[in-house]
C-alpha cells in the first residue's frame, strides 16, 4: 500500500490529513496525485465516493504560491452541495497551509461574495452560473488561474453547463493545467477534453472499487399503485436510522414526501426547487436525525456525504449503473453496514439487467412481508381445500352398499313418476 508521504505530500498537509482522520490514500488518489503534482493535464474517470476531492485538492495546495494574493486555482462543480463539500475540505487544508479559498454559488448574497472576492482568495470553488455572473460583473479575475478542475463533468453536461464551462476556461491563463474528473465520459465531455487539454494522462478506476461489500443490495417487485405501501412496509420492518429515497423528478419527490408525512413519518424533500436556505435546513435536520427519511432527486443529492445513512431506496429505478452506484454509495460508508433496495416493475427488467451488467453482480430478489403473507395464505387455503375434497371422497367410499342401492332406486322412482305425470297431461 502506497502512503501519502510516498506520493510526495508535504509534511504540513500530512498533519492536516491526520487531523482529518485520513491515513491511507484511495486508489484514485494513488494514481491521480502524482500526475496532477507533475503538472500534467489529467482525465480521471471514477465514481462518486472514491476520494476524488483530495485527489485534486492535495496537489493543488502543494503548487499554490501562498505569497501571491491572486486567484491561482479554480474548481468548477455542477451543484451547490458539491461545491460546499469541496470547500469544507479546502478550508481544513487551508488552515494548515495559510492558503485561502472561497466558495461561490447561486442563492447566496452576491454583494457579500463581491466583498470576499476583494480579499483575493487563492482558490475559488463554485458553480458555473454564479462564476459567470461574477465574470460579467468584472468582480472576479481568472486571468492568473493556471490550475483548473472540472468535477462531475458528466453532470455539468446533463444540466446544460458545458457552454458556460467553455466560457470560463477561455478566460483562464493560456498555460493552465486542466483536470477533468467524471464518473462517465459522454462524447460531449470527450470533445471538451480534446479542445482544452494537452496530451492528458488518462486514469480510470473500475466500478468494483466502489460497489462496496458491506452494502446489502436487493430488489423488490412492485406495481406503481402499491409503491407507497411497499415503502411503508419496508420502513416499519427495517426501522432505519436514516433513509434516503431517490425519485426521478422533483414532483415525485414532493408527492412522496407529502404522502409519507400524511402517514406520520418524519420525512422531507431535497430537490432543485428549494432555495439554498431551505436545502441547508433540510440537510442539517437530516444530519442531526431530526428527520428519518429524505426523498431526493439524483441531482440534488450529488456529492452528499452524510454519516449514518443506513438505508437507500431507489423508489424509481435508475437509468444506468453509474446513477445506481452513486445512490447506493450514500450508505455503507466508513466501514458501516448499509442496505440498498431497488423497486422494479415487470417492464423494467431490461434496465435492471443493464445495471447488473454495469456493476458485474446479480442483485438478489426478495419478497415483501405482505407478499410472503399472501403466499402463505394461498398455500394454506389450497391445503384446506385438498383436505375437504379428501373427506368428501372418503365419506363416499365408506357409504354402505344398501344405502347406495336405495338412493339409486329413489332416483329411478322419482324419474319414472315425473315421466308418468308428464304423459297424463297429454
* DSSP 8-state assignment for residue 363: P
Cell 477534453, located at residue? 193
| Residue ranges of E strands in 183-274 | 201-204, 215-221, 243-247, 267-270
* Residue 200 and residue 225 in one domain: no
Q: Is 249 inside any structural domain?
A: yes
Q: Is 114 inside any structural domain?
A: yes
* Residue 217 and residue 261 in one domain: yes
Q: Is 138 inside any structural domain?
A: yes
pLDDT of residue 396: 65
* Residue 164 and residue 216 in one domain: no
Domain end position, chosen among 144, 171, 206:
206
* Residue 172 and residue 29 in one domain: yes
Residue 211 to residue 340: CA distance in whole angstroms? 11
Rg of the Cα trace of the chain?
Answer: 32
* Residue 320 and residue 215 in one domain: yes
* Residue 164 and residue 34 in one domain: yes
* Residue 114 and residue 128 in one domain: yes
Domain end position, chosen among 368, 386, 415:
368
Q: Is 190 inside any structural domain?
A: yes
Residue 365 to residue 150: CA distance in whole angstroms? 38
* Residue 171 and residue 221 in one domain: no
Contact, 162 vs 192, CB < 8 A? Answer: yes
* Residue 192 and residue 81 in one domain: yes
Domain end position, chosen among 183, 206, 229:
206
Q: Is 140 inside any structural domain?
A: yes
CA angle 33, 301, 294 (to 5 degrees): 140
Q: Is 340 inside any structural domain?
A: yes
* Residue 358 and residue 295 in one domain: yes
Residue 58 to residue 8: CA distance in whole angstroms? 10
pLDDT of residue 382: 62
pLDDT of residue 426: 46
pLDDT along the chain (426 residues), means of 10: 88 91 89 94 82 93 91 93 90 93 90 93 95 94 95 84 93 94 85 92 71 80 93 95 94 95 95 83 93 89 80 92 84 83 90 83 68 51 66 65 51 52 50
pLDDT of residue 284: 92
* Residue 218 and residue 364 in one domain: yes
pTM over the 0.85 mark: no
Residue 3 to residue 202: CA distance in whole angstroms? 22
* Residue 222 and residue 170 in one domain: no
Q: Is 399 inside any structural domain?
A: no
Q: Is 416 inside any structural domain?
A: no
Contact, 156 vs 150, CB < 8 A? Answer: yes
Domain span at 61 = 11-206
How many domains are there within the chain?
2
Question: What is the CATH number for 362?
Answer: 3.40.50.300
Amino acid at each position: 500500500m502506497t502512503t501519502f508521504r510516498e506520493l510526495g505530500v508535504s509534511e504540513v498537509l500530512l498533519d492536516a490529513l491526520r487531523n482529518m482522520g485520513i491515513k491511507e490514500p484511495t486508489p484514485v488518489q494513488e494514481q491521480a496525485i502524482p500526475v496532477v503534482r507533475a503538472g500534467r493535464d489529467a482525465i480521471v474517470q471514477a465514481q462518486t465516493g472514491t476520494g476524488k476531492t483530495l485527489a485534486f485538492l492535495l496537489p493543488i495546495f502543494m503548487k499554490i504560491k501562498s505569497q501571491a494574493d491572486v486567484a491561482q486555482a479554480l474548481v468548477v462543480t455542477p451543484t451547490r452541495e458539491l461545491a460546499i463539500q469541496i470547500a469544507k475540505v479546502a478550508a481544513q487544508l487551508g488552515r494548515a497551509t495559510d492558503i485561502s479559498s472561497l466558495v461561490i454559488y447561486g442563492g447566496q448574497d452576491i454583494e457579500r461574495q463581491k466583498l470576499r472576492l476583494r480579499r483575493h482568495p487563492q482558490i475559488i470553488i463554485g458553480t458555473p452560473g454564479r462564476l459567470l455572473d461574477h465574470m460579467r460583473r468584472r468582480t472576479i479575475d481568472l486571468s492568473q488561474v493556471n490550475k483548473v478542475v472540472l468535477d462531475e463533468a458528466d453532470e455539468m453536461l446533463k444540466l446544460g453547463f458545458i457552454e458556460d464551462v467553455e466560457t470560463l476556461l477561455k478566460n483562464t491563463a493560456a498555460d493552465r493545467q486542466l483536470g477533468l474528473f467524471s464518473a462517465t465520459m459522454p462524447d460531449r465531455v470527450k470533445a471538451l477534453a480534446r479542445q482544452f487539454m494537452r496530451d492528458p494522462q488518462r486514469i480510470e478506476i473500475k466500478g468494483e472499487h466502489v460497489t462496496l461489500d458491506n452494502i446489502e443490495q436487493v430488489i423488490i417487485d412492485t406495481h406503481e399503485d402499491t409503491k407507497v405501501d411497499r415503502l411503508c412496509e419496508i420502513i416499519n420492518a427495517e426501522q432505519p436510522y436514516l433513509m434516503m429515497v431517490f425519485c426521478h423528478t422533483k414532483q415525485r419527490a414532493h408527492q412522496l414526501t407529502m404522502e409519507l408525512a400524511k402517514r406520520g413519518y418524519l420525512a422531507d424533500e431535497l430537490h432543485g426547487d428549494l432555495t439554498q436556505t431551505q436545502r441547508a435546513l433540510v440537510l442539517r435536520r437530516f444530519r442531526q436525525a431530526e428527520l428519518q427519511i429524505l426523498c431526493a432527486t439524483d441531482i440534488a443529492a450529488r456529492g452528499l456525504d452524510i454519516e449514518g445513512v443506513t438505508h437507500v431506496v431507489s423508489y424509481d429505478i435508475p437509468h444506468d449503473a453509474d446513477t445506481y452506484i452513486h445512490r447506493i454509495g450514500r450508505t455503507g460508508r466508513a466501514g458501516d453496514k448499509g442496505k440498498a433496495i431497488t423497486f422494479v416493475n415487470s417492464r423494467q427488467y431490461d434496465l435492471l439487467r443493464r445495471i447488473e451488467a454495469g456493476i458485474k453482480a446479480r442483485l438478489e430478489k426478495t419478497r415483501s412481508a405482505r407478499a410472503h403473507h399472501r403466499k402463505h395464505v394461498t398455500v394454506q387455503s389450497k391445503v384446506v381445500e385438498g383436505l375437504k375434497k379428501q373427506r368428501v371422497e372418503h365419506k363416499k367410499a365408506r357409504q354402505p352398499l344398501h344405502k347406495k342401492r336405495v338412493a339409486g332406486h329413489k332416483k329411478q322412482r322419482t324419474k319414472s313418476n315425473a315421466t308418468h305425470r308428464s304423459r297424463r297431461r297429454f
